[in-house]
Chain A
Amino acid sequence: MSKVTVFSQSCKGFEECGLCSFVCPKHLFKSGDEINRLGYVPSAIEEQEKCIGCQNCMIYCPDFAIVVEKEADDPQLEEEDAND
């Protein structure tokens, strides 16, 4: 099980940015409900239990707005990227 925290006040928008949603292999991100203090409607994640702890969202977020805390026994995801 992983725990995903979105710092909603730091997020620059599910629509305007949306990179977390783009890189999540389980498509867990949705639009949030409220406008944050920066003027954006942030990303949000509901089905925490489906998170596999790949940490893509945390690594790709341009605003340091997501933290993924992995449990020790989470499977490692293959890197979703161009291989070399």
Chain B
Amino acid sequence: MNAIQHPLRKYIRGHVTKTTTCPGCGNGMAAQAILRAIDELGLSMDDFVFVSGIGCSAWIPSPLFAADTLHTTHGRPIAYATGVKLGLPEKHVMVVSGDGDLSAIGGNHLIHAARKNIGLTVVLMNNRIYGMTGGQTAPTTPKGLRTITSPYETLEYPFNIAEMVVAAGAPFVARWTTFQPRQITRSLKKALQRKGFSLIEVITQCPVQFGRVSKLGNAVNMLKHFKENSVPLKKARALDSGALAGKIVVGEFVDIEKAELAQECARIIRQAQEAN
């Protein structure tokens, strides 16, 4: 047996020997992108707390990552992570979870965390379906598609999550697809070097559930679809909405500085203690 190890193996728990994902699932690609960002920044897993909810992508940190991990109830990782960050403000608190978890049941926590500017890094894996439970409609499922809970057609319009979180006040928001893993890593490195709330929305393939619903069928076709339909932000801003139908706008939507909540709380503590 050769002694070659994957360069990111050291960030994975020793007793974990395989991933729990379907063949071609985008989760593992994001897992690599996350660990590569940590590696390239020279950070240690001891610098992190990972928080995830319920769904396939919540299994990215749990049990794979060799770090403090909090695997919470459905929709709530951002709420839990807020408490973790306020208790351990020096740590990088990263939330990794899916579009159902973070924009449906957890939608309220998502927009409030962005508004409060609590220093979390949120990786939102958007596969546009509820994968783990068998392919139900998500708030991100394109209108018109048939799913197991919209067996005639999906009647509702989908969220534009990145733009919604920008509107909620987040100072750093990016969107990429799994076809752009190097960009995911690059944006994540930026996010980890900023203090405020960061969202990286990753449009990802669920070959089994969304592949079936969209008739794209398999991971390779879905990656081809991402490649052909990704439009860089700068170009997208010059196009009208008609031209963007069915397209995936990728890039960094906002990157500004504003006062972060945990640091503000620390300031208030100093103020309150000095006043006494």
Q: Contacts A5-B2, A17-B23; is A62 near B179 (CB within 8 Å)?
A: no
CB distance from B165 to the nearest CB of A (A): 19
**Chain B residues in 8 Å Cβ range of A63:** 18-19, 21, 28
* A64, B19: Cβ atoms closer than 8 Å: yes
CB distance from A84 to the nearest CB of B (A): 4
Task: Give the bracket for the number of chain A residues in contact with chain B.
Answer: 20 to 34
**Total count of chain B residues near the partner, CB < 8 A:** 42
* A82, B230: Cβ atoms closer than 8 Å: yes
Selected interface stretch from B73-81, B118-126, B150-158, B219-227: B219-227
**Chain B residues in 8 Å Cβ range of A79:** 182
Q: How far is the CA of A48 from the CA of B234 in the complex (A)?
A: 39
* A19, B227: Cβ atoms closer than 8 Å: no
* A84, B232: Cβ atoms closer than 8 Å: yes
Per a CB cutoff under 8 Å, which of A10, A19, A58, A84 touches B18? A10
Contact with A along B237-253 (1 / 0, CB 8 A): 00000000000001110
Per a CB cutoff under 8 Å, which of A5, A16, A22, A81 touches B180? A81
**What is the count of residue pairs linking A and B with beta-carbon distances less than 8 angstroms?**
92
CB distance from A3 to the nearest CB of B (A): 8
* A18, B6: Cβ atoms closer than 8 Å: no
* A62, B21: Cβ atoms closer than 8 Å: yes
Judged by a CB distance under 8 angstroms, whether A28 is at the interface is no
**CB within 8 Å of B: which of A38-84?**
38, 40, 58-64, 67, 69, 79, 81-84
Q: How far is the CA of A18 from the CA of B24 in the complex (A)?
A: 7
Nearest residue in A to B33 (C-beta to C-beta)? A59
Q: Contacts A40-B23, A62-B26; is A82 near B4 (CB within 8 Å)?
A: no
Contact with B along A1-20 (1 / 0, CB 8 A): 00001010010110011110
The list of the 5 closest CB pairs from A to B, nearest first, reads A62-B28, A16-B23, A12-B23, A82-B230, A17-B24
Which A residues contact B (CB, under 8 angstroms)? Answer: 5, 7, 10, 12-13, 16-19, 21-23, 38, 40, 58-64, 67, 69, 79, 81-84
